[in-house]
């Protein structure tokens, strides 16, 4: 069986770090050949991440009130909420992509080679 986390261009395993470094599931770069890759049908994973980030931002004022801080303190609480939610989403979705049933595919497949270039 083909390694599902192998680069479809060069065949080497891309390694989970390459997936961690990607800001979006369609901006993964093979560390071996540099090909831009994506996990097929994974675009919708961005939607729950946006929902979690919005929920995190919406609950930050409540946390700030509980902690009795306002102004710059409340801004730090918001930043902490967003960093915690973003980090949790990153870990959850990298593991989902890596161990789930998503398949890697090249974003920009190589164009066909034209053998009749001299015919112009």
Give Cβ neighbours of residue 71 (< 8 Å, ≥ 6 apart).
none
We find the least distance from the C-beta atom of residue 18 to Zn ion, in angstroms, to be 10
Q: Does 10 engage in binding with Zn ion (CB under 5 A)?
A: yes
Give Cβ neighbours of residue 51 (< 8 Å, ≥ 6 apart).
none
Residue 10 to residues 42, 56, 69, 114, Cα–Cα distance (Å): 22, 40, 53, 22
Q: Of residues 18, 30, 85, 104, which one binds Zn ion by CB under 5 A?
A: 30
Q: Does 104 engage in binding with Zn ion (CB under 5 A)?
A: no
Number of residues that bind Zn ion (CB under 5 A): 7
We find the least distance from the C-beta atom of residue 37 to Zn ion, in angstroms, to be 8
CB atoms within 10 A of CB 81: 21
We find the least distance from the C-beta atom of residue 14 to Zn ion, in angstroms, to be 7
Residues that bind Zn ion (CB under 5 A): 7, 9-10, 30, 32-33, 35
């Amino acid at each position: 069986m083909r390694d599902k986390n192998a680069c479809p261009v060069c065949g080497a395993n891309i390694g989970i770090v390459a997936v961690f470094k990607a800001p979006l599931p369609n901006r993964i770069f093979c560390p071996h050949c540099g090909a831009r890759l994506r996990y097929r049908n994974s675009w919708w994973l961005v939607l729950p991440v946006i929902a979690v980030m919005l929920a995190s931002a919406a609950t930050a004022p409540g946390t700030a009130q509980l902690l009795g801080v306002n102004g710059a303190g409340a801004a730090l609480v918001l930043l902490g909420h967003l960093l915690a939610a973003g980090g949790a989403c990153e870990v959850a979705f990298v593991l989902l992509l890596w161990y789930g049933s998503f398949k890697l595919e090249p974003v920009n497949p190589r164009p066909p080679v034209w053998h009749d270039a001299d015919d112009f």
